[in-house]
Amino acid sequence: MSKTHLELTGVDMSFDTPKGSFLALDNINLKIKKGEFVSLIGHSGCGKSTVLNIVAGLLQATRGGCVLDGHEVNAPGPERAVVFQNHALMPWLTVYENVELAVQQVFRKTMTKQQRKDWINHNLELVNMAHAASKRPGEISGGMAQRVGIARALAMKPSVLLMDEPFGALDALTRAHLQDSLMDIQKDLNNTVIMITHDVDEAVLLSDRIIMMTNGPAATVGEDLRIELPRPRNRVELADDPTYVHYRQEVLKFLYEKQRKLETIAPRRSPQPAAADEEPEAARAARV
């Protein structure tokens, strides 16, 4: 990790609403280095997806902007792949064809047909989905579909991987498995990752930095916590590690003491984890 790879400078974001202009983000400043894994955490509606959408080029900041490798971001691009919570696969295409679509888009001119085929299979193998290459999204589980979504994003060789609650809708076991796979993949590929999460343990386990956002409107970066835990990280060993516990408490303190939501928390836009009822109380408490 060395110089700044991605930079948000003085970003404001206002939305026009029937009641007038709504300032969602106020002066977001963030410098991210190549290969850093950064999590965005904050209460519902604070503006995390808006930040991600600005980096993805899906939204234009009202003031300030985003620069990637010295180039201003003002449109979506294959070097910034997005993984959404609900994977967004094309239901009429097979698993293989879903990944192929992305690979065609990026490598049609630079890879031969055979190279593209090998590359698609390689990425499906990375997420342990090669065995289901000929299945359609309707024939596989949510966790499997999410793995295909990740394979599709990785197959574009993005320098930045943007993930909006990628594991939020999955049961606890599948989530743990995918978190471990993501750590392995990121170690090999050294992508920069920005991930939105509501899960404090997930943020501490995966991240090099946790960006904690203040409550909206006019949300901004509240705290920027560096997670200096050696890698590879093992969730079982870390559970009792005093440094891990300290980081976890820092995030919880920010969310529940410094940024306590006084009004009723807005309903989540997305479904709750499938196995939430089976989770231990402590794990549930650590979800924003």
Residues that bind ligand ATP (CB under 6 A): 15, 17, 22, 24, 42, 44-50, 216, 268-269
Q: For the CB of residue 51, give the shortest distance to ligand ATP in the complex, in Å.
A: 7
Q: Given the complex with ligand ATP, which of 126 and 213 has the nearer CB atom?
A: 213
218: left (phi over 0), alpha (psi -120 to 50) or beta: left
The CB-of-82 to ligand ATP minimum distance in angstroms stands at: 13
- CB 121 to ligand ATP: min, Å: 34
Q: Which is nearer to ligand ATP, 226 or 269 (CB)?
A: 269
State which residue, 46 or 185, has the beta carbon closest to ligand ATP: 46
SS3 for 169?
Answer: coil
Residues paired with residue 213 on neighbouring β-strands, in sequence order: 221
Q: Which is nearer to ligand ATP, 17 or 264 (CB)?
A: 17
What is the number of other CB atoms lying within 10 angstroms of the CB of residue 241? 14
For the CB of residue 80, give the shortest distance to ligand ATP in the complex, in Å: 17
- What is the rounded distance in angstroms from the CA atom of residue 170 to the CA atom of residue 180? 14
Give, in degrees to the nearest 5, the angle at Cα 210 between 281 and 164. Answer: 75
215 CB-near residues (< 8 Å, 6+ apart): 42, 43, 46, 259, 261
Q: Please, what is the end-to-end C-alpha distance for the chain in angstroms? A: 30
Q: Which is nearer to ligand ATP, 41 or 182 (CB)?
A: 41
3-class secondary structure, 91? coil
CB 93 to ligand ATP: min, Å: 27
